[in-house]
Amino acid sequence: MKKNLFFLFIVIALAIFPLFIQKGAEFGGADGEAEAAITEIDKSYEPWFSSIWEPPSGEIESLLFALQAAIGAGFIGYFFGLMRGRTKKEKVSHDSN
């Protein structure tokens, strides 16, 4: 249990640490970089789609992206754990027959 809490603390520290080290830095995503590269190639480029809702800041946008990734990772971890448990259960029931 202490080991898990330690690792959880390390993960949280790794996520928060860059925010204090790079104060005022902009943590932009690949979408903005792609649009800038396309605009550099074709000056008349206009995006064909705009966001329905724009987060109030880049930090909120990053938070939502990280939350989405965490939920996805949790789902994938749960799925693999469930499959592993089923496999072990089937193996135990097959061995006992």
The CA radius of gyration of the chain, in Å to the nearest whole number, is 22
Q: What is the pLDDT of residue 66?
A: 92
pTM for this model (two decimals): 0.48
Nearest Cα to Cα of residue 28 among 67, 62, 68: 62
Read off the tokens for 80: 């693999």
Beta carbons of 27 and 58 less than 8 angstroms apart: yes
What is the arithmetic mean of pLDDT over 14-36? 77
Does the pLDDT value for residue 97 go beyond 70?
no
The reported pLDDT for the residue numbered 6 is 93
User: With contact defined as beta carbons under 8 Å apart, do 94 and 62 qualify?
Assistant: no
